[in-house]
Structure 1
Amino acid sequence: MTDKVKGPASYFPSIEEKYGQPIAHWQDLIRARQPAKHMELVAFLKEEHGLGHGHANALVAHALAQKS
C-alpha cells in the first residue's frame, strides 16, 4: 500500500497536466527570483505564467520548504 501524497506536492500531477511543464521547470523559475517573499512569487507565477492561485501557492510553498 502506498502513502497518499499530501501537502503542496499533491497538486503536482495536475500542475504538470494543466500547464505542460514539469515541476522542475517551475521550481527553477522560483529559485531564479530569490530572494523574494512568498506572495511575490505567487503573484509572479499568476501574472507572468497564467497559473491559478492554488497551483502557484503550492509550487512556492514547496520550493521555499526545500530551501530551509
Structure 2
Amino acid sequence: MADAPIKGPASYFPAIEKKYGRPIAEWQQIVRAHLPAKHMELVAMLKNDHGMGHGHANALVAHTLAANAT
C-alpha cells in the first residue's frame, strides 16, 4: 500500500527546510523559545527575524502549537 500524501501544515516542511536551510526541529525550537507568544506574534517573529514567508511561518507555527497542545 502506498504512503498517504502528507496533508496540512506538515506538507510545507520539505520546502521550508530547503528554502531556509534549517531542519524543522530547529525551527520548532525557535518557535517554542518565544512562547507564550500568540500565534500571529510567532508568525511575525519568523517573518521579521528570519525572513520566512507568511505561508511557511504560519504552517510552522500552527503545527508546533498543535503539537504542544497534545
Bin for the TM-score computed over the shorter chain: over 0.9
2:37 pairs with 1:32: no
1:59, CA displacement in angstroms? Answer: 0.4
The AA in structure 1 aligned to 2:9 is P
The AA in structure 1 aligned to 2:68 is K
1:15, CA displacement in angstroms? Answer: 0.3
State how far apart, in whole Å, the 2-side matches of 1:34 and 1:42 are: 12
- TM-score after normalising by structure 2: 0.96
State how far apart, in whole Å, the 1-side matches of 2:11 and 2:56 are: 10
- CA RMSD in angstroms, aligned pairs only: 0.4
Regions of 4+ moved over 3 Å: none
The AA in structure 2 aligned to 1:4 is P
List gaps (5 residues or longer) in structure 2. none
- TM-score after normalising by structure 1: 0.98
1:65, CA displacement in angstroms? Answer: 0.2
